[in-house]
Structure formats: C-alpha cells, structure tokens
Amino acid sequence: MEYVLYEQQDMIGIITINREKALNALNSQVLDELSETFDSVDLDTVRCLILTGAGEKSFVAGADIGEMSTLTKAEGEAFGKKGNDVFRKIETFPIPVIAAVNGFALGGGCEISMSCDIRICSENAMFGQPEVGLGITPGFGGTQRLARLVGAGMAKQMIYTARNIKAEEACRIGLVNEVVKATLDEEGNVTVSAKENLMAEAKKMASTIAKNAPIAVRNCKKAINDGLETDMDKAIVIEEKLFGDCFETEDQKAGMGNFLEKDKEKKLKVVPFKNR
C-alpha cells in the first residue's frame, strides 16, 4: 500500500496513515487503503488497534481539499459516503481502536479520531472542524459524533466558529482522554519527543486492554456502542444479552476460577485469556 502502513506487535496492531507530505490528508486512495487494512487485520491474534499519522506534525489534516475542490453535488455526497463507510467500519470494528493523535486533527482528521474508541494526543495536537470556512459542512460524521462526544452546545460552537482548539482544551471538553508531553532534560531540551511518548502510552494502554478477556472486551464495545443508539429499556437488554454471551466461555471460567482460587499465588496470577 502507498499511504497506509500496518504492523503487528504481539497482540497489538498499529495502523499509520502515511502521507506526510500532505499532512496525512485523506484522499480517496487513503480511504480505500484504510478500509482494506481494517479488513485484513487478523482478529484471531490482534486484540487492540492503534491508529496514528506519520511524522511529528500531523495526525490527519482533513479530507483532501484538492480532490474535493472540483466535486459536483452528487460526487460530494458520494465522497462523504466513502469516508463515512470507512469511519463506521472503524467505529463498529470488533476490537477497540485507540487514536494516537500526533498533531493536527482537523476536519476529517478530527472525525476519524472520533470514530475510534479512545483518543489520546500529543501536546502539539490541534483539533477542529474548519469546514464552514471552506464552504462545506463536516462530511465524515463530524456533525454527529462531535455532538455526541462533547455535547451539542460545544459541538455547535466549534463547528459554527471553525475555531481550532489545542490539546489541553480538547482534554478539558472530553474530546481526548489524555495529553502526552515530550520529555525534557534539565536545560529544557527535548530528550524524547511527544510523538514517541504518545506511542509508548498508546501501546501501554493497548497492551493493558489486550491482556483482558477478549470476548468480554469485544462485548463491552458492542454494548456501549449499540446501547448509546437506543433508549435505556432497550439498552439494558442489549447489555443482558452480551453479558450472558460471556458465560461458558473459557475466559469466564478461567477469570472467575482464578479469583475463587484459595492459593494466594495462583489467585494473583495473570490469566492467559483466549479468544474462546
């Protein structure tokens, strides 16, 4: 693939959007390659994914403005659908996806991060939906997911004003969970970049997730996502079914058996969870 890199490290898959010269902007080819990459993830061995952008400056600086500039109404709608289909694939992907946001996350970049389960970012990250300044609406789910994540009032303010916000503000409003800084020496020189620390933090979180029972983690993702789309009476039924689905799995037997173990040593032992 030209614009998407994929690497598996133990039970973690790392997807990197690799179009650094254009600040990792999403053109049709990047979107197609992303879709193919998600399709090719080995779900028997990978338990958590990390999505990031190549380089230190930008996660994704939006949909490709050059490609969009000459689209007709019908083509614009089709381009929106292309992005939405990929982002929905990410959102409903069976295993968790962590967005490691290493710089600009504007327009389609903010939108792709919001289709992931969890967002953490480097201190130089900047989020925003600048579309109204370009004469369009957000088109890859921004009007929907931003309002669900940070509330309608804050989403409307960000989208109508097209004002970009820095990492700390994104954290304050709940758009990201954590801001990762560079490591400095006593003189204030950077010894480890914010991007390197961000990736280390993302991998740490991913491996913590990967150590837990995989069927239970998948069912939690589905319960939260599906439950948020319906009313509470139906949502708790969704949870009941997914809760019940965990019983009789090897993981449930091992996890609970371990807890009930009288032997203290064995009780504290990490359970080697399986995908069954």
Of 30, 46, 54, 61, which one interacts with ligand CAA (CB under 6 A)?
61
**Binding range to ligand CAA, per CB under 6 A, among 48-56, 57-65, 184-192, 236-244:** 57-65
**Binding range to ligand CAA, per CB under 6 A, among 134-142, 193-201, 203-211, 231-239:** 134-142
Please report where in the chains the tokens 């173990």 appear, as a residue.
Answer: 261
Orientation angle between helical segments 152-161 and 142-150, nearest 10 degrees:
130
Give the number of residues in contact with ligand CAA, rule: CB under 6 A.
22
CB 80 within 8 Å of CB 136: no
Pick 127 or 140: Cβ nearer ligand CAA:
140
**Binding range to ligand CAA, per CB under 6 A, among 101-109, 197-205, 210-218, 236-244:** 101-109
- The least distance separating ligand CAA from the CB of residue 201, rounded to whole angstroms, comes to 23
Tokens of 253: 């037997």
- The least distance separating ligand CAA from the CB of residue 173, rounded to whole angstroms, comes to 19
Regarding 66 and contact with ligand CAA (CB under 6 A), the answer is yes
Please list, in sequence order, all residues whose beta carbon lies within 8 angstroms of the beta carbon of residue 159, skipping any fewer than 6 positions away.
129, 131, 132, 137, 138, 142, 143, 146
Please list, in sequence order, all residues whose beta carbon lies within 8 angstroms of the beta carbon of residue 76, skipping any fewer than 6 positions away.
68, 136, 139
- Got the DSSP string for 189-221? -EEE-HHHHHHHHHHHHHHHHHHS-HHHHHHHH
Regarding 106 and contact with ligand CAA (CB under 6 A), the answer is yes
Regarding 135 and contact with ligand CAA (CB under 6 A), the answer is no
Pick 135 or 188: Cβ nearer ligand CAA:
135
Pick 53 or 130: Cβ nearer ligand CAA:
130
Q: Is the dihedral of CA 16, 118, 215, 206 positive or negative?
A: positive
Regarding 131 and contact with ligand CAA (CB under 6 A), the answer is yes
User: Which amino acid is located at 227 in the chain?
Assistant: G
User: Which amino acid is located at 39 in the chain?
Assistant: D
Please report where in the chains the tokens 């820095």 appear, as a residue.
Answer: 166
DSSP letter at 133 equals G
- The least distance separating ligand CAA from the CB of residue 224, rounded to whole angstroms, comes to 25
**Phi and psi torsions of 146, nearest 5°:** -65, -45
**Binding range to ligand CAA, per CB under 6 A, among 55-63, 193-201, 210-218, 246-254:** 55-63
Regarding 53 and contact with ligand CAA (CB under 6 A), the answer is no
Regarding 127 and contact with ligand CAA (CB under 6 A), the answer is no
Pairing of strands 190-192, 183-184: antiparallel
- As annotated, the active-site residues are 111, 131
| Contact set for ligand CAA, span 144-163 (CB under 6 A) | none
CB 118 within 8 Å of CB 174: no
Of 65, 71, 173, 236, which one interacts with ligand CAA (CB under 6 A)?
65
Q: How many residues does the chain have?
A: 276
Regarding 214 and contact with ligand CAA (CB under 6 A), the answer is no
The residues that touch ligand CAA, with contacts defined as CB under 6 A, are 22-23, 25, 61-66, 83, 104, 106-108, 111, 130-131, 134, 138-140, 142
